[in-house]
């Protein structure tokens, strides 16, 4: 009887956990902190440097931060787009008491490593300090593994990994001197699970975890916190500049309102909550991608067996929601010929 009761309690517990996951758009710790954790108003007066702020998650993260009184540095390569983001930040930030001097527009190309100290000096000259570096720059990819030109791999690593790595190393001495600082890194669910037809991109995101989790292990005791943000499918313009298997080529596609993706605003808000609560890692996604992360984490062999059976095209459809992107891998994938 006691064994039966125990099994019943275990069944009820795990069923409740499953229901919570299915009705969430973030990992359970993040959902708990959204309700009971540190408030976003705690960012007031702090300086955030957002690299990759011209669109997508970076853009809406800037809006979320200034709405709560944070000072921001808006960086990216597209200055015209940054100007638009700054203008919107001024409108939003005015209600929080911010002025134009609280929002710095700083065009940055993260691949130009020799300019990183110059970029950071500009931040310090304007604000005198930095509290949080948000490494949000990067490009996605659609390409079959065996057809990728090695120059594509190198190109994605230059922008998605080495640029962010070097910029972080430029900033960290400042954090160590003040004995406090945070680095947030926009990874992806693809940094946890290798999605088909984006090998170079997946590898860059896995590399970010390797680098920055090591940083956390080394410097947490010295006041440096590291937050890895792992979004799933989110509305943005990443498909326009998305890499393919050919060096110098861009996918040139665009998302549509019919795609099954999380809103950019919601993703940015959850990213901000993860940052202010200094989570080590946050999963942010709609289902079934979120559930698949849990299965891959706690039953890896089962997940990979299932993933292998359903095939690459089904896995891609969960990520992209559209046949035109599923078919962007133009060669055969796992024996399934693209139409």
Considering the domain boundaries, does residue 264 fall inside one?
yes
Given 48, 63, 119, 201, which residue is catalytic?
A: 201
Considering the domain boundaries, does residue 1 fall inside one?
no
CB-based contacts of 50, cutoff 8 Å, min separation 6: 58, 61, 62, 65, 72, 73, 74, 75, 134, 136
- Rounded Cα–Cα distance for residues 73 and 149 (Å): 35
- What is the average pLDDT value for the chain, to the nearest integer? 90
Considering the domain boundaries, does residue 142 fall inside one?
yes
Contact between residue 271 and residue 135 where contact means Cβ atoms under 8 Å apart:
no
Q: Which two tokens stand for residue 225?
A: 């916190």
Considering the domain boundaries, does residue 309 fall inside one?
yes
Considering the domain boundaries, does residue 313 fall inside one?
yes
Q: What is the pLDDT of residues 275-304, one digit of tens each?
A: 999 999 999 999 999 999 999 999 998 888
pLDDT over threshold 90, residue 52:
yes
Q: Which two tokens stand for residue 148?
A: 């990728």
* pLDDT the model gives residue 333: 43
- Rounded Cα–Cα distance for residues 282 and 279 (Å): 7
Contact between residue 275 and residue 132 where contact means Cβ atoms under 8 Å apart:
yes
Contact between residue 104 and residue 127 where contact means Cβ atoms under 8 Å apart:
yes
201 assigned to active site: yes
Among 84-93, 136-145, 261-270, 317-326, where is mean pLDDT lowest? 317-326
pLDDT over threshold 50, residue 337:
no
CATH number at residue 222: 3.40.50.720
- Rounded Cα–Cα distance for residues 267 and 244 (Å): 26
* pLDDT the model gives residue 59: 97
Q: What is the pLDDT of residues 5-25, one digit of tens each?
A: 888 888 898 899 999 999 999
- Rounded Cα–Cα distance for residues 132 and 276 (Å): 10
Q: What is the pLDDT of residues 199-222, one digit of tens each?
A: 999 999 999 999 999 999 999 999
- Rounded Cα–Cα distance for residues 305 and 172 (Å): 41
% residues pLDDT > 90 (the chain): 75
Contact between residue 143 and residue 190 where contact means Cβ atoms under 8 Å apart:
no
pLDDT classification of 338: cutoffs 50, 70, 90 = very low
Domain count, the chain: 1
Cα-to-chain-centroid distance, residue 192: 12
Please report the sign of the dihedral spanned by the C-alpha atoms of residue 67, residue 71, residue 76, residue 80: positive
% residues pLDDT > 70 (the chain): 90
Segment 122-140 shows an average pLDDT of 96
- Whole-model pTM? 0.91
Considering the domain boundaries, does residue 322 fall inside one?
yes
Domain that holds residue 261: 37-326
Contact between residue 292 and residue 193 where contact means Cβ atoms under 8 Å apart:
yes
How far CA 296 is from CA of 32, 291, 305, in Å, comes to 22, 9, 10
């Amino acid at each position: 009887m006691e064994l039966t009761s125990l099994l019943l309690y275990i069944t009820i517990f795990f069923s409740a956990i499953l229901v919570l996951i299915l009705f969430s758009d973030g990992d359970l710790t993040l959902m708990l902190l959204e309700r009971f954790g540190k408030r976003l108003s705690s960012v007031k007066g702090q300086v955030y440097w957002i690299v990759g702020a011209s669109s997508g998650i970076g853009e809406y993260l800037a809006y979320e931060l200034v709405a709560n009184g944070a000072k921001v540095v808006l960086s990216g390569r597209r200055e015209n787009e940054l100007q638009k983001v700054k203008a919107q930040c001024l409108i939003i930030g005015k209600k929080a008491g911010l002025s134009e001097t609280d929002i710095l527009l700083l065009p940055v190309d993260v691949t130009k490593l020799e300019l990183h100290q110059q970029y950071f000096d500009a931040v310090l000259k304007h604000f005198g300090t930095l509290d949080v570096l948000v490494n949000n720059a990067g490009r996605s990819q659609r390409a079959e593994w065996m057809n990728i030109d090695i120059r594509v791999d190198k190109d994605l690593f230059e922008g998605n990994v080495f640029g962010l790595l070097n910029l972080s190393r430029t900033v960290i001495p400042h954090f160590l001197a003040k004995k406090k600082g945070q680095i947030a890194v926009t990874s992806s669910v693809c940094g946890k699970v290798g999605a088909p037809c984006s090998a170079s991109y997946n590898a860059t995101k896995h590399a970010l975890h390797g680098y920055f989790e090591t940083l956390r292990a080394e410097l947490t005791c010295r006041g440096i916190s590291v937050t890895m943000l792992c979004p799933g499918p989110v509305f943005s313009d990443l498909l326009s500049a998305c890499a393919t298997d050919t060096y110098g080529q861009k996918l040139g596609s665009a998302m549509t309102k019919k795609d099954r993706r999380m809103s950019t605003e919601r993703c940015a808000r959850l990213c901000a909550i993860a940052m202010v609560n200094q989570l080590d890692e946050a999963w942010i996604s709609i289902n079934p991608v979120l559930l698949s992360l849990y299965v891959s984490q706690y039953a890896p062999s089962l997940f990979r067996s299932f993933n292998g059976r359903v095939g690459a095209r089904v896995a891609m459809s969960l990520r992209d929601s559209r046949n035109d992107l599923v078919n962007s891998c133009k060669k055969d994938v796992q024996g399934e010929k693209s139409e």
